[in-house]
Chains A and B, each alone.
Chain A
Amino acid sequence: MTDDLRRALADLADAAGTGAGWDPRAVDARVSRLVQRVRRRRAAVTATASATALGTVGVLAVVAAALSGHLGTTAPADPPPATGPTPSQPTTTEPTAGPPRAPAGPAAALFACGRPAPESIHTLPDQGHLTVAPDLTTGTWDASAPPDLAVTVGATGGYRVTAEVGNGWLALVDDSGVVVGFVVPDDRSAAPLALEPDGTQELTTTTTAAPCDADEPLTGTYVAWPFVEATEVVAELAGSSDEQPAVAVVANPQQVTFAG
C-alpha cells in the first residue's frame, strides 16, 4: 500500500465521523444529554466547593472559639444574622447558615440541580393531606432582587393537620426540563401550623435567586415549581391519624421571567 498515510488517516476519520447519529434529531438529543451531564458535574463541583468553604468556616469557628476560651464551655456562639420570625410564626428550627442553592429536606428528592424536574404534578407522591398555593408577583423579575414569595398552605380532604412548615421555594426549570436554579426563602425556619379541615395559612418571606451554576445567571423564562417542606406532619380524620415525618408539598408549576 503506497497511499499517503495522511490521506488514509483523514479518510478513516471522515468515515468514522459520519458513521453514527448525526441527523438533526440525534444531534439535538446528544446536545441535550451533554448539557445535562455538564450541568450535573458543574453543580457537583460547585456543591463540593461550597461544602469545602463551609467546612473551612466551621474549622475557623472552632479555632476562634478555642482561642477565645469558649471551647468546652456551654457558652453559645453568636447566632448568625437571620430574618426573625413574625409574631404569628414562631420559630422552632434554627435557620440554616448561609444561602443554600438547593433544598436539603424532602424536596431534595424531587428538585436537584442538573436533574430533570417532575413531568407533572400528578407524578408526585402523597403530600400529607397538605396543599400549597403560591401568589407569584407578575411581570419580569430582577434576579438580584426577586420579589417576596407568598404561599398559602392548606389542609385537604377534611383532615385536621398539624406540621412544621417552612417558607415557600421555587425550583426553576429550563426549556430542557432540567433544574437550573432556585428562588430560595431568606427565612428558612419552620413554623408550627395547626390547620382545621379546609383551613389555610399564608407564609411570606423575602427571597434570593440562586442559579445552580454561578457562571450561568438566571435570565429569561423558566418553569417554576412552587413548594414548601413540611415535617412532623400529623393528619387526623374521624379518630384516625396519618403521620409522616417529612413531605414536600408542591403546587402546579407556573412561568416566571427574569430580566436579562
Chain B
Amino acid sequence: MQGWRSTLDRLVRERGRALVGYAYLLTGDTREAEDLFQDALLRVFSRGRPVDEIDSVEAYVRRTMLTTAVDGFRRRRRWAAVRHLVAVPETAPEPGPDHVTGARLAVRDALATLSPRERACVVLRHYDDLPLADIATTLDLSVGAVKRYLSDAHRRLRDQLGPLDLEPASPESTTVHLRRNR
C-alpha cells in the first residue's frame, strides 16, 4: 500500500471516529455526518494534491467538512428529503439512546436551532477553541459577522439550555471594535 491509499487508510482508522463526531456537531444527524465525512474524504483525496502528511490532511478534511456543511447545507437537506424515493435504504445505524441521550440530546437539539453558519461558528469557537479572526478566515467571513453569528447563537443556546458559562467578549472582538471606531 502506498501514497494516498495508505494515508486514507490511516486517517480513517486513527482519526475516523473523531472526524465523524466533528461532522455530527456540524450536522446533528448521524447519517448526514457520515455522508459529510465521506464526501470530504472524496474531495480531499480525489484532487491529486499531496496527501502524505496525516495531520495536514486531517485539518484539510475538517475544513472541507466545515465548508460543505455551511455552503451545501440547503442542497443536502433537499436531497435528504427525497433520498428515500431514489436510494436503497442504508444499513448504518441511527443514533440510538445508547449514544446520544439525556444532556447530549438537549445539546444536540439546541444546536439544531442554529443556522449552519451559527453552528459552524459555535463549533470553531467552543470546540476547536479558535480566536475570532481565525474563525473569520476559515469561514471566509468578516470578524464582525462572526461576532454577530456567535452572539445570536449564544442567545439561542441559552434559550434552550439555560445559562451558559460563556465568555461575553473576547480580546479580539474588542480590538476590532476599537479599530472600526477610529
Cβ proximity bits A1-23 to B, threshold 8 Å, 1 near / 0 not: 11111101111111111111110
Distance in Å: Cβ of B95 to nearest Cβ of chain A: 6
Q: A5-B166, A17-B20 are in contact. Are A27 and B157 (CB under 8 A)?
A: no
Q: Please tell me if the beta carbons of A1 and B33 are within 8 angstroms of each other in the complex.
A: no
Q: Which residues of A contact B93 (CB under 8 A)?
A: 19-21
Q: Please tell me if the beta carbons of A15 and B126 are within 8 angstroms of each other in the complex.
A: no
Q: Please tell me if the beta carbons of B24 and A1 are within 8 angstroms of each other in the complex.
A: no
Secondary structure at chain B's binding surface: helix, strand, loop or mixed? Answer: helix
**A-side interface size class:** 20 to 34
**Complex Cα spacing A167 to B37, Å:** 44
Across the interface, A45 reaches (CB within 8 A) one of B16, B24, B41, B46, namely: B46
Secondary structure at chain A's binding surface: helix, strand, loop or mixed? Answer: helix
Q: Please tell me if the beta carbons of A3 and B34 are within 8 angstroms of each other in the complex.
A: no
Q: Which residues of B contact A27 (CB under 8 A)?
A: 12-13, 16
Q: Which residues of B contact A11 (CB under 8 A)?
A: 103-104, 107
Chain B, 159-179, CB within 8 A of any chain A CB: 161-166
Cβ proximity bits B125-136 to A, threshold 8 Å, 1 near / 0 not: 011010000000
Chain B, 25-56, CB within 8 A of any chain A CB: 25, 30, 33-34, 38, 41-42, 45-46, 48
B99: Cβ under 8 A from any A Cβ: yes
**Complex Cα spacing A2 to B162, Å:** 7
**Complex Cα spacing A215 to B45, Å:** 11
Q: Which of A31-39, A62-70, A131-139, A241-249 contacts B (4 or more CB under 8 A)?
A: A31-39
Q: Please tell me if the beta carbons of B24 and A12 are within 8 angstroms of each other in the complex.
A: yes
Q: Please tell me if the beta carbons of B126 and A22 are within 8 angstroms of each other in the complex.
A: no
Question: A19: nearest residue on chain B (CB-CB)?
Answer: B99
Cβ proximity bits A24-68 to B, threshold 8 Å, 1 near / 0 not: 000100110011011001100100000000000000000000000
Q: Please tell me if the beta carbons of B126 and A9 are within 8 angstroms of each other in the complex.
A: yes
Q: Please tell me if the beta carbons of B46 and A2 are within 8 angstroms of each other in the complex.
A: no
Q: Which residues of A contact B19 (CB under 8 A)?
A: 17
Q: A17-B17, A216-B2, A216-B5 are in contact. Are A5 and B46 (CB under 8 A)?
A: no
Q: Please tell me if the beta carbons of A1 and B3 are within 8 angstroms of each other in the complex.
A: no
Q: What residues of chain B have their CB less than 8 Å away from a CB belonging to chain A?
A: 2-5, 8-9, 12-13, 16-22, 24-25, 30, 33-34, 38, 41-42, 45-46, 48, 92-93, 95-96, 98-100, 103-104, 106-108, 122-123, 126-127, 129, 157, 161-166
Known: A15-B21, A16-B21, A17-B20. 10 other contacts (CB 8 A): A2-B164, A3-B103, A13-B18, A17-B24, A30-B12, A31-B12, A31-B13, A34-B41, A35-B9, A38-B4
